[in-house]
Every structure is written in C-alpha cells, then in structure tokens.
Structure 1
C-alpha cells in the first residue's frame, strides 16, 4: 500500500510560504529575495508569474554573485519543469547542486539530490535514484540531522515499494522510528514524519505477512493520528489494517475497516490509496465468494491504473481474477481485454526491474497468456463469420418467437398475480396482521426455547431488542452485520444468529433483506416520488449497497422485480 507523505516537495522544509492575497504589481527587479520567493510560491497556479519570479531571482543572484541564491533560483526553475519535462528539471537540479555544494546550507544540495532521485524513480532508474539519495544523506548528516532521517525515509520507500526489499526497508524505518521516539513527535514539524515512519513499518510487516506486528503498528499510528488530529493518516491506518485483516482471511472485519477508510481516501484525493481500497475490497468479496462484486472492484483498480499509469506488484492480482471471471462467463472480449492489460503491466514492470515473476506464475505464465490471447483473437474472428450464418436460421427463430410470446404472456399473468398478492398482504398488515404475527411469535417462543439451548430470559430479551431494532428501522443501515448487532445488544453473534434462524425462520442476511424489502414495498406505495428514483438510488435508500443486491432480494421475497412492481403501482394509482 502506498505511503504518500514522503512524496511531498522539499519546499515544505524551506522557508515558510507567505500566502499573498492580491500582490501589488511591482517591478520584479526591485523585489528582495524573500519577496520573490514568497511571490513565486503564492502563485503556484500561475506559471507565467512563477517564471518571471524565477528569472528575476536568478538575475539578482547572478548580479550579486551569491552561490546559494543562484542555487535557489535554479531550484525554482526545476519545480516549473518537474511534471512536464523531466530532463530539464534534472538539468536545473544539477545546477542547484553545483552552486550549493560546500555552502553548509541546511537543505541544499541535499534536497536537490532528493528531488533528482524522485525524478529518476519515475523513469524506473532505481540504482541511480538510490545513488542520489545516498549523496543526500551524507550531506544532511552534517548539515541537518532532521532532514537526514527524512532522506532515510525516502530510501526505505524506494526499497519497499519499488524494489520489494521489505526486510531492508523495515530496518531503515525502525532506525528512523528510534530517532523520532527521542524527539517531540507531537510537534507539527516532526509529527507527519513520525506517522509516515510508523506507516512504513506497518506496511513492511504486512508485506512480510507478520499480521500481529502489522496490527500493533497500525493501532499505534491510529492513536497518534487521533491525538494529533490528522484525519487523513488516521484513516490510512484504518485502511492498512483492513488490508492486513484481508490478508489473514478475516474478510468481514477487513470489509468493515476498508468501508470506513475508502471514502476518506476519496475525500483527500489520495489516488494511490483509493486504488488500494478498491483492490482490497475486491479481495474481500473474492474471499466471501461474491464474484460479481469482486470483479466490479478489480475493474475500478484497472480504471485508476489507466489514468495514472502507476501500479505496484501488490495490486495486480485482480487481473488474473478478471481473466478467469470472464472466461467462466464465456465473455471472450473482456477476457481478451484483461489479458492484454495484464501482459502490458507485466512487460512494463519486468522491463523496469520490478519482480513480477512469482505473482504471474501463481495463476498464469506469460507464454500461456500469449497463447490464450492468440486463441481468443482467432475465436472472435470465427464468431464474426458465424454471425453471417446466423441469418440462415432467422426463419426458424421467427417461428420460435411465437412460442416465446405465449410464454411471456403466461409470465406476465403470473407476475400480475404476485403483484396483487403483495398489495393484498400489505393492506392486511394494517389491520390484525401485526397482532397475529406477535401471537405466532410468542407461541413459537414457548415451544422452541428448550430446543435451541438458550435461557428463556435471554431469548425474550433479544427478541425485544429485535423488535426495537425493527421499529426504529435500523435495518436500513447499509453496513449492518450480525457482529455489529450483537455488539449493540451486548451479547454474542451465535445467540443472535440462532434466535433469528429459529424465531424468524430465516438466515440473518435474509432477515435483514426481507425487512428492507417489506419497508420498500410500503414506501413505494405511499410515496409516489420514490417511484421516480433509479433502482440504484432506491437500493441505497433502503439499505442495500447496489442495484443488483436490491433487485435480487426483492425478487427472492416477492417473486417479481422492483421495476415491474413500480410500473404496476403507477398503473393502479
């Protein structure tokens, strides 16, 4: 999982940026170094102003022949080209290094070496990047011990996230951790660096499959984030622990954590960890046997990758899943699509020194993928030929349509009967139906308390709490689970599950879904505005996570689809 704080520009360690409101128009040449610096960083969205500031800064530095000011001017130019021309950015950083060498400055040239290393990493030149980080740490060790440990953190991230050297990265993170423990880590200056190191340790332990140590450091990081009021980091630790639980096949606990953290990653536009969230949701639903939902989340991972063009070996397992998923569905086009995507990623990562072999060979090897890809292309070509033959049997199909029409007529009649039954049952419940149900439940309670081996008093307490749960319509919470309900009832999951099975005559999931569907039926009859909602919107309204799960539960309960029910309601009201 990606750590994001180390990628912040080194400018955070330089002079504080004074945000200027409406800066008066002055002659740039008349401004001081500090004024030019502040004006440059106050206009990050106006590249023309930044260009003019950098030019004025460099002209002033050249005129006064001050090496460190020449270095700072070149650094400003480097930032201008950072995201659009890597070669030019590196050229300016080399000038920063040249002018600031042996000046004893607190950040230069160490920071320039770090920026250069970051740009080399983007080009997958990891050996050269590490060489620049090593030069940075040697200088920082003499000039700025705090920044020295920041550089050590950069090196740890490169080794863990780019090179897969988790043990070596862990040693470096722990070295940084020991340093920060001797400092005031709740000071804003060091607080984020300390949290980043804790996250790095937790993430390395996760990659090394040390579940208990991962949990320990995730909890430590969560506590520190809470104390220092760093919400983004707090939920980053929640997400990482969710991933840790998924790796340990504790899917329901993992799902709970990821579901809480993912919206926060989206809120903070933390793209790399949004990708991580969707990937581990895919793993959760794969583990729970919910194949379609797993595929949906792995597809979201692919969508993010297509935009960012960045993915690590940690998150590529979704592609073999998608290939198998569409193969089993007989969907050749999507199977071919994800084989092609998977092979492209493999080619990129192999070429750029990332160790993908062990992951690829777990389910597919490249020669097999090539063979499958060629076979699919050939098969799709044959399918097109078969399309022309299809016209030859069109006459037979036309005849068959007559029989199909009869079948549809009978089906509509059956659906209409089911619709009328729902309406009648709903109307009946407004009278004596509720009391009859209560009497029935009491009779069941008398006869079955001894059968299930739970004390009568406890059974009655839980049944009362279930009544309260139903009356307050708490089943409309989308993330309700038997674990959550048991915690609310101050009892254990086995008791709640068993009582629902026996006294409600259904599984816990079916019980929740039936309550939601019954509520949906009532609301759709009473509120005409709801009928204008999309099925997806209705699903969320009634506590379901998506349209598919709502439609399936509605059909299972009533024998008709919600779209048909709404259509018929509109016809009769």
Structure 2
C-alpha cells in the first residue's frame, strides 16, 4: 500500500517522471539512497513506464528496487518482491536478473538463519549467471565463498572458490574495472588462511591486498587488509604489532558504520591485550563486542571467545551477578548458533561445555538466592518493593490510559474548537443578557470597546509577550486594570492569568501539531516560544488546561505522525 497510495500531486509527478529514460530513473533512485520518499517516486515511475510498455524485465527491475526499500524493515516482504523479480525476469536473457534476485534472496535467508535455503538460492544464481554473464558468475562464486567461510566454517572449500575467482580476475583489468572484485577475492583468500591458521600465507595475501588497494586508492579495502593482518598478528602472538594494526583500522570501520568489522576490531584488541597480560583492557574490549552484538544480534563463532573470558573474569573477582549475566548470554548465543547449523548437520564447537555451564548457572542462582535469604528483613523489603512497584506500575498503566484519552480529546480539535466557539458565543451573548452593564459597574459603551480590543489582541497573538501583565495590557487598551479584570472575568469566564495562559496553551497545541521542528525543542525553549518565562510555568499551565504534560503530548504527537 505504501507504493500505491500516492496523492494526486504524486501521481502527476510520477506521470511526468515516466518521460525520463529507464537509465535516468535508475540513477535517480540510487542517487537518493537516504531519501526513501524520492526513491518511491522514481521506482513508481519506473514501474508505470514498464507496465505501459509491457516490459517484463523492466517490471522485474522495478520490483527489485522496491525489495531494496524493504531491506532493513521487513525481510519477508523483501523476499516476496524478489520472488516477483524472479518471475518477471525468467528466461529474459538479462545479464543480471534473475541471478541478482536469487543472490539478494539468499542474503535475506542467511539473516533468518535459513542457511540451506540460502545456499540453494546461491546455486540457482550461479547456474543462471554461468549462461548469461560470466563476470557476474564470479561475483556469485565470491558470495558462495563468503557464506562457506563466514557462516559455515568450510574454510578449505571457500579457499578453493576464492582461488578460482582470483585466477579469473588476474586475467582481467584487475586495477580498474575489476579492482574491487579482485581485492575482495584477495581478502577472502587471506581470511580463509587466517581461519586455517596458516599465518604466513595470510600475511602474503594481506600484503598483496594492501598493495593493490594502495595502487587503486581504495581507502576502505586498504584498512580492511590492515585489520586482517592485525588479527593474524594475534595468531602469531605478536601482540604489540597486532594492537598497532587494529588501532589504525578501527576508526575507518567506525567511520564506514561497518558494525561487523568494528566488532571484529574490538575482539582482536581484547585478544591482543590479553596476550600482553593487560586484563582490564581486554575486558573493556570484550564488553564492547557484547554491546555491538546487543545492537545487531549478529555474531559468528569466530568472535564468541570473549564471553568465556568475561565469565572467568567475573568469577575470579567474585562478581556473581555479572558472571551469571554472561553465562546466560553465552548460552543464548550458543543456542542460536546451534539452531543456525542444525539443518546442515553441523556442530558448533565452543570453549565451554554447555552442560557444565548449565550446572554452573544453577549453582550461581542457588548461591545468589542464599545470599539474598540471609536476612528476613531483606526479603520483606524485597516483597514490599515488588508490591510497591506493582502498585506503581498499575497506577502508571491507568494513568497512561487516562493521559491517552486526554490526548485523543485534544487531537479532535474540530469538535473541541466548535464547542469552544459555541461556549464563547454563549459567554458573549447569553451572559451579557443576564449581566447588565451596571452589574459590573462599567458603562456598556466601554465594555464593547474593551471587548473589541480583546478580540484584536487574540487575533494578533499579543498574549505571546512574556512580560505581559494586566497592568501593561490595560495601559495598551487605555483603560484601568480593574475594568479589564472585571470584563475578562464576566465575558471570558476566567481570571486574567487563566485567560492569558489558556490562549498561550491553545496556540502551543496548534503550532506543535503543525510544525515538526518545534517538536524537537526543549521544554524550556518551547516555554519561551509561547510566552512563558520558564519550563515549569509552561508545564503547569499546559497540565492545568489539558490534563497532560507537554512532553507527553509531544511524544504522542510524534508517534501518531509516524503511524500515519
């Protein structure tokens, strides 16, 4: 529905864009990778043009672009669109499709831990590319090598594939057109040798890749080879050299937002510091590995040794809670990896024996329970805290429901505004009929004059002045403060302060709804924006009129716009 529900303006824009060539639309789509709204326009135009011309391969490419938009948010939806790519591009003889679609689908399946299905899709891509595009065939072979090496641990098979690709690229223009593919292949060979602990061959290919990346000025690959050699130096137990290399590479990995290799950098820093006997630095870096895993939920068998290290560290210093914490995390990761490889009849070999870990975990839990049970007073306090938290939680739940209801009432502005206008008219017509001018001791002509000035004051938003007082406003109206106060009380049905604050809060609500940039302001900045002298006075007035705090209102407003 995201791609079909365009406004009339959007449809006209799409219609105009169909006058562009497919190549122009393709380039515009990929030139706007950080602007999904524009990408949707270009891919819709691409699709409209393909449908108009009834071109199967162009429909396939449009579906491919849509699949990429779902890459991060909905992998199942992305796979559905990739299946459409495959359907439309079968037997078209295109150089990249459906082979590229099978590769992308395999990547999604890998992320869902469906390695067997992923390999089947890579093999389908390989078979098609061999017939339609020999260059892409070797790209697919490289993907298969990466999967065997990084995901399956089949380093010898992966090495054979990488060398096959190397022998192909070495016959090509490997410092221009094929430079990136060639260097990725070299890295794959070096990485496989590292995993096989053939450190001399690893160094040879890291140096080769380093030289090639320097010649072609590929900064990212340049530092990737430095990082890989740093890891290799850890295996050689040259820990100072390892630290030097990894510290050089780490900033580049962070700059490129490469979380996988950032995690690898921290892991090998931890190993190097451990090798130098700097235990505290080792712990710090293994904790950073854990923090990245917590963010990405992705880790391979190569980098899980930090968890046994943390378990032993906290055991040695008697920190039972952290020891239990990292035993639990390690067991979760182990279960995920076992699930990942189960369908392929592989076993993940880990440093710790899991049954022993389970026993250790149960002992820790028992020990912690005994520690907690030493004092009945402590148990009573714990129960009291739980009851208090539960009661508070229930209270907060009910309060949130109440606040949500109040927020929804505020958002129904048309009904509320009509009601307020109705009440306002009643205040101006019905109340004056009851209150004669002599009831408040002011002449009728003066009352009407001041009411007219109040109307103008409201329209021109004079209430936004932060130093406004009843005295300053009565001076502006050329009357006295007592008359002004009586008229506001009688005809606006409010005290002067309540009248001014309500005008400011109504104005704040409408502006916060209309201007997204205001919703980024601090409460203090908003207070000044809407005529209040402090965040506290703004919040108090907002709550008094609407029954919710401004911070809550802004958060709910943001959430409602995201949903819409």
The residue that corresponds to 1:56 in the other structure is: 45
- Residue 151 (1) aligns with residue 140 (2): yes
Name which of 185, 194, 210 aligns with 2:174.
185
TM-score by length of 1: 0.61
Name which of 67, 81, 84 aligns with 2:56.
67
- Residue 215 (1) aligns with residue 203 (2): yes
Q: Larger deviation: 76-85 or 112-121? A: 76-85
Gaps (5+ residues) in structure 2? Answer: 1-12, 380-564
Q: Could you tell me how far apart the structure 2 residues matched to 1:372 and 1:108 are?
A: 53
The residue that corresponds to 2:298 in the other structure is: 310
8 Å CA contact 2:56–2:89 kept in 1: the answer is yes
Q: How many residues align?
A: 365
Q: CA deviation at 1:210?
A: 0.4
Q: Could you tell me how far apart the structure 2 residues matched to 1:224 and 1:140 are?
A: 27
Q: Could you tell me how far apart the structure 1 residues matched to 2:139 and 2:161 are?
A: 11
8 Å CA contact 2:341–2:348 kept in 1: the answer is no
The residue that corresponds to 2:229 in the other structure is: 241
CA RMSD of aligned residues (A): 2.1
Q: Could you tell me how far apart the structure 1 residues matched to 2:24 and 2:96 are?
A: 20
The residue that corresponds to 2:460 in the other structure is: none
Query: Are residues 155 and 67 of structure 1, via their aligned partners in 2, closer, same or farther at CA, if it must alter by over 3 Å?
Result: same
In the TM superposition, structure 1's runs of 4+ consecutive aligned residues that sit over 6 Å from their partners are none
Query: Are residues 176 and 340 of structure 1, via their aligned partners in 2, closer, same or farther at CA, if it must alter by over 3 Å?
Result: same
The residue that corresponds to 2:410 in the other structure is: none
The residue that corresponds to 2:90 in the other structure is: 101
Q: CA deviation at 1:96?
A: 1.1
Q: Matched residue of 2:174: which SS?
A: coil
1:461-486 Cα distance to aligned partner (Å, 9 max, x none)? xxxxxxxxxxxxxxxxxxxxxxxxxx
Note the 1:135-534 alignment, pairs <5 A: 135-187=124-176, 189-353=177-341, 359-360=349-350, 362=351, 364-386=352-374
Q: CA deviation at 1:358?
A: 5.8
Q: Matched residue of 1:27: which SS?
A: helix
Query: Are residues 65 and 380 of structure 1, via their aligned partners in 2, closer, same or farther at CA, if it must alter by over 3 Å?
Result: same
Q: CA deviation at 1:172?
A: 0.1
Q: Could you tell me how far apart the structure 2 residues matched to 1:249 and 1:260 are?
A: 18
1:242-281 Cα distance to aligned partner (Å, 9 max, x none)? 1111112222222222222222222222211111111111
Q: CA deviation at 1:57?
A: 2.2
8 Å CA contact 1:313–1:356 kept in 2: the answer is no
Question: Relative contact order (C-alpha < 8 Å, sep 6+): which is higher?
Answer: 1
Query: Are residues 120 and 390 of structure 1, via their aligned partners in 2, closer, same or farther at CA, if it must alter by over 3 Å?
Result: closer
Q: CA deviation at 1:183?
A: 0.8
Query: Are residues 156 and 99 of structure 1, via their aligned partners in 2, closer, same or farther at CA, if it must alter by over 3 Å?
Result: same
- Residue 88 (1) aligns with residue 82 (2): no
Query: Are residues 244 and 133 of structure 1, via their aligned partners in 2, closer, same or farther at CA, if it must alter by over 3 Å?
Result: same
Q: Could you tell me how far apart the structure 2 residues matched to 1:140 and 1:69 are?
A: 18
8 Å CA contact 2:267–2:285 kept in 1: the answer is yes
Q: Could you tell me how far apart the structure 1 residues matched to 2:24 and 2:87 are?
A: 24
Q: CA deviation at 1:321?
A: 0.6
Q: Could you tell me how far apart the structure 2 residues matched to 1:25 and 1:78 are?
A: 19
TM-score by length of 2: 0.62
Q: Could you tell me how far apart the structure 2 residues matched to 1:357 and 1:104 are?
A: 41
Q: Could you tell me how far apart the structure 2 residues matched to 1:29 and 1:183 are?
A: 38
1:409-467 Cα distance to aligned partner (Å, 9 max, x none)? xxxxxxxxxxxxxxxxxxxxxxxxxxxxxxxxxxxxxxxxxxxxxxxxxxxxxxxxxxx
Q: Could you tell me how far apart the structure 1 residues matched to 2:74 and 2:149 are?
A: 27
